[in-house]
Structure 1
């Protein structure tokens, strides 16, 4: 298997996909990764491939990772996104030649995989959003690859993803839902980590804590989060809001401006909003929190932060975006995009945390990484088997795939929601 990434930078889709690749490799499949970019500048953060936590985890597990060496978002590295040089195509062809199936992390890498002259391999596209219309030329690249017969299947991490891409014109038979899962040994309530993180941040044991894990991007609606934080902190004298992710740092001028606007007239409240940047100990931060918050207005499908936070004992409070409402049903709160309503839900979540804990514990198997990886393995085995059958029957010729996969319920799609 070859996974093609747009690049290595902070984000839930890359964390999830890298975990899937590692899990499939642990199960005996041979995997490698090709990144189009080796460096990106986004969310006010310069992110090098070699510094990325996913890159380090993959290579530590023996998964080879190579790159075309491009830079994105940097003036000195500006290259036309869909124009590839001869050496870049040669490197891509070498990587593809040894693979039976190609995984595309979202639809953006299809701009590369659609280039003429590359080896013909079945492609499985892993989709992680619910707004294909906002993906620019990437949706057209996906449709081109489907029309060409290159795409054998699409993995959707949520029902909202499948519905959105079907509405955008992707044939339903190509769309297979495999809900996100996490490592339950890593993401679990941890009283020791809870005390340690709070002590390190100077937060007293009884003080309520909200964690907001997101990159600094318009879809995450950071201004709404901060307006809700002001409303909540004004009545929670011991409360704290922790912000984690790319761009969630004091050095981000846009975030500083958001803070100034949200806390105008009450700058003292902003002292209890802690921008912590990219963290690699999220399980400890979630364990230290009482609530995991999401205020996104679009784009989300099955937000990893809600699942990880819940599994660590934090109560989820989210806007109704993607599959978020289904994910937190019975475990947390869904709010309108109103700062007062969000602040009230945070208070209710803190007060009801003990009562919600049994339901969170009972839901753990539903969000299992093991279940998710087994479903990916089943789908990929089906794609490979179909590819071999077509090669035998037609000598590798023909434009359209006909994939008959096992019942989706057995692949995890029928898990309780």
Structure 2
């Protein structure tokens, strides 16, 4: 509609991961409510975590398209030269020419902004990690864009993100915290979904289920989780463990090797489900949602989604996990025996944690998050539209 703020989001690509799920959910919530959004992805497919992921197959892509957002890709494949050619720069020029604000999902797409320039459009970059110096050239690209004055604001999804980027030399006045949130209508306790998923996996209704929702990535410390799973399953012969996410499949040889090391390669009580479009069903079927990451996490979406569905969170102390879990679950040292013991304790204290999980739903409801994004984008977009005389005044 006339008068709406027009926004272009830049993605490095579409592949399974919390940051893309969250950013796409934000765009879907904002589009058509005083703002018009569209997405340009640098790559049309991604090869990550031993999985080829086409943009059109991605759940976030389908959600955006279903909401009415135009989505396109600059490059068809998953790779390409570091520099963009003239044709690619011309596409970006056309995409950015009619917008008021540019959003980038994380700092990686700033390489396109730095090469092409945003033609005077303000850029808001959304940050979703707590290890800015552990992402290749991404921090250098961010510093370049900040120094050039292209970046107007940096959205941090967690306090740990703001602290880490400030320590890395990013100006504090650019860093704004907007905590992660999820759709409370979708992520909620669901007894029928719990029963259906357990039945589909051959899991009895009342046995313990631990869910690990993560991609197969070094930061997630999958071997640590699997070592804890081996300890727990040996102690609880009725329990099951469910893995989901990119690379969490029977076709990933690295995961198979990890399972063999801990003696779980042939276990019928460990389920490898890969990328799923129904994480709410997995969390509803779970008793515990666990995270064993070693670094990089900010405000892990899996913990929030799991809690909203009634699963007790058990996590290592990384990023903002402590503030998310406190009073609702357990923090644990990165030790297999300690993690397995924490799962057992969480199950034993289920009645104690239940009311706290229920009370947390209002805090983590996405409506607060989307309203905060809307205000920031509106404020930045209105500055772009302000006439020069008003700016000078």
TM range (shorter): over 0.9
Q: Is the 8 A contact 2:118 2:150 kept in 1?
A: no
- Cα separation, partners in 2 of 1:390 and 1:295, compared to 1, 3 Å: farther
Deviations 1:19-75 (A, max 9, x none): 000001142310000000001111000010011111111001100001112422xxx
1:103-252 pair list within 5 angstroms: 103-116=103-116, 118-252=118-252
Normalised to the residue count of structure 2, the TM-score between the two structures is: 0.96
Question: What CA distance in whole angstroms lies between the structure 2 residues aligned with 1:147 and 1:2?
Answer: 22
Question: What CA distance in whole angstroms lies between the structure 2 residues aligned with 1:392 and 1:118?
Answer: 22
Question: What CA distance in whole angstroms lies between the structure 2 residues aligned with 1:316 and 1:380?
Answer: 32
Secondary structure in 1 aligned to 2:282? helix
Deviations 1:153-206 (A, max 9, x none): 000000000000000010000000000000000000011111111111100011
Deviations 1:228-272 (A, max 9, x none): 000100011111000000000000000000000121xx766x331
Deviations 1:262-318 (A, max 9, x none): 21xx766x3311110001111011000000000000000000000000000000000
Question: What CA distance in whole angstroms lies between the structure 2 residues aligned with 1:48 and 1:339?
Answer: 35
Secondary structure in 1 aligned to 2:61? helix
1:5-404 pair list within 5 angstroms: 5-72=11-78, 78-81=79-82, 83-116=83-116, 118-263=118-263, 270-389=267-386, 391-393=388-390
Structure 2: gaps (5+ residues): 1-6
Secondary structure in 1 aligned to 2:235? coil
- Cα separation, partners in 2 of 1:118 and 1:334, compared to 1, 3 Å: closer
Q: Which moved more, 1:383-392 or 1:225-234?
A: 383-392
Q: Is the 8 A contact 1:89 1:118 kept in 2?
A: no
Question: What is the number of residues matched between the two proteins?
Answer: 386
Secondary structure in 1 aligned to 2:99? coil
Secondary structure in 2 aligned to 1:84? coil
Secondary structure in 1 aligned to 2:81? coil
Question: What CA distance in whole angstroms lies between the structure 1 residues aligned with 2:105 and 2:389?
Answer: 29
Secondary structure in 1 aligned to 2:104? strand
Question: What CA distance in whole angstroms lies between the structure 2 residues aligned with 1:139 and 1:117?
Answer: 17
Q: Which moved more, 1:304-313 or 1:189-198?
A: 189-198
- Cα separation, partners in 2 of 1:392 and 1:15, compared to 1, 3 Å: farther
Structure 1: gaps (5+ residues): 73-77, 396-417
